[in-house]
Amino acid sequence: MKGVVVFEDGTIFKGQVFGAVENETFGEIVFNTSISGYQEILTDPSYKGQIVTMTYPLIGNYGVNSEDVESNKPQVSGFIIKELSDIPSNFRSESSLDEYLRENDIIGIQDVDTRALTRHIRIRGAMKGMITTETRDIKALIEKVKNSPGLVGRDLVKEVTCKEKTEWNIDGEINLAVLDCGVKYNILRHFEKRGCKITRFPADTGARAILDSDPDGIFLSNGPGDPEGAPYVFETVRELLGKKPIFGICLGQQMLGLALGGKTYKLKFGHRGGNQPVKDVITGRVSITAQNHGFCVDLDSLKDKDIEITHINLNDNTVEGIKSDKLDFFSVQYHPEAAPGPNDAAYLFDEFVDKIKRKKGSPIS
């Protein structure tokens, strides 16, 4: 069945729809440069409200399974690819990508010139768009896209956070509180591997309720959309600062920046993929990192704050890490848990857990 991708600036890309072909969808159109890991990308809560384009041309070749998920369901609004593999081949495959999207009511589109589409986003910036099988009245479709909700100022955290307090790995020795703004499962797996008993708190939980659980440390998770659209989160973070060791990833860093009185801004087309070079300005070490964010902490807004810039992006010099010994926190803008992506930065989980152990007087492995 024929379909189209419609951008709010009137640009049109044609293709063939798959998945939930009777659906139509709206969202901010972005691109991801990862070569593999499409299932992890589809289920990453940070993609809520977005239509994801894969720049790698062949997608679906190893199928889909029930283990490599980053949340309880696919979170993307739609999926754009160059070529869909009709016959998945992998011993772990349980279904095809087409079947997976159909079962979860998500529309995809293939046979799209994804190189041209990605170039368009890089030149014009990420913008609102849609995927639809309706191709007769393009002017009407453009108006529908223009009238659809964008990301700026919108609270998407409330759509992906856990609905009630839940536990993960109840046998762990370190009591870790996770403020869940859309946490990826692989982050929880990393903490589990390091002996943490994890309590996930809904994003609208107040600081007092979190501290009353007597955590040894607090983790601020990744999540979707504009951090300024969820002020209740950074207000809670502000009250938590200095109370317990804190580690933040991606949206977690943005919430720390806002809690400190700083500002965030929207990047032109964001950082999404598994090949972003980040430099640790303290050690000089460069890591190739997995990233997925469209907003960033404004470095100038933090100049008078009692913090240290720890990491920068070598592509565009945006801030990728901050810390404060006085307030006992550190954070990074990238994803050390990968899934998908490189594992260069997994040591950050060790650093945080070792920090907690030192505070507790526990032996460091």
Can you tell me the mean pLDDT for 239-245?
97
Show the tokens assigned to 283.
């050690």
* Distance of alpha carbon 3 from alpha carbon 23, whole angstroms: 11
Residue 364's pLDDT band, with cuts at 50, 70 and 90, is: confident
The pLDDT value given to residue 306: 85
Expressed in angstroms, the distance from the first to the final Cα of the chain is 56
Question: SS3 for 34?
Answer: coil
* Distance of alpha carbon 98 from alpha carbon 127, whole angstroms: 26
Least confident of 113-127, 153-167, 270-284, 297-311: 297-311
Residue 365's pLDDT band, with cuts at 50, 70 and 90, is: low
182-224 confidence digits (pLDDT tens): 999 999 999 999 999 999 999 999 999 999 999 999 999 999 9
Task: Return the percentage of the chain with pLDDT > 90, whole number.
Answer: 95
* Distance of alpha carbon 172 from alpha carbon 178, whole angstroms: 14
Length of the chain: 365
Question: SS3 for 271?
Answer: strand
- Who's near 116: CB < 8 A, 6+ residues apart? 13
Domain 157-360 architecture: 3-Layer(aba) Sandwich (3.40)
Q: Any idea where the domains of the chain sit in the sequence? A: 2-146, 157-360
308-356 confidence digits (pLDDT tens): 999 999 999 999 999 999 999 999 999 999 999 999 999 999 999 999 9
Chain mean pLDDT for the chain:
96
pLDDT surpasses 80 at 363:
no
Which CATH fold would you assign to the domain 2-146? Answer: Glucose Oxidase; domain 1 (3.50.30)
pTM metric for this prediction: 0.96
Can you tell me the mean pLDDT for 78-95?
96
Task: List the one residue out of 282, 269, 334, 304 whose CA is nearest residue 126.
Answer: 269
47-59 confidence digits (pLDDT tens): 999 999 999 999 9
Do the domains 157-360 and 2-146 match in fold?
A: no
* Distance of alpha carbon 218 from alpha carbon 204, whole angstroms: 15
Which residues are part of the catalytic machinery?
250, 335, 337
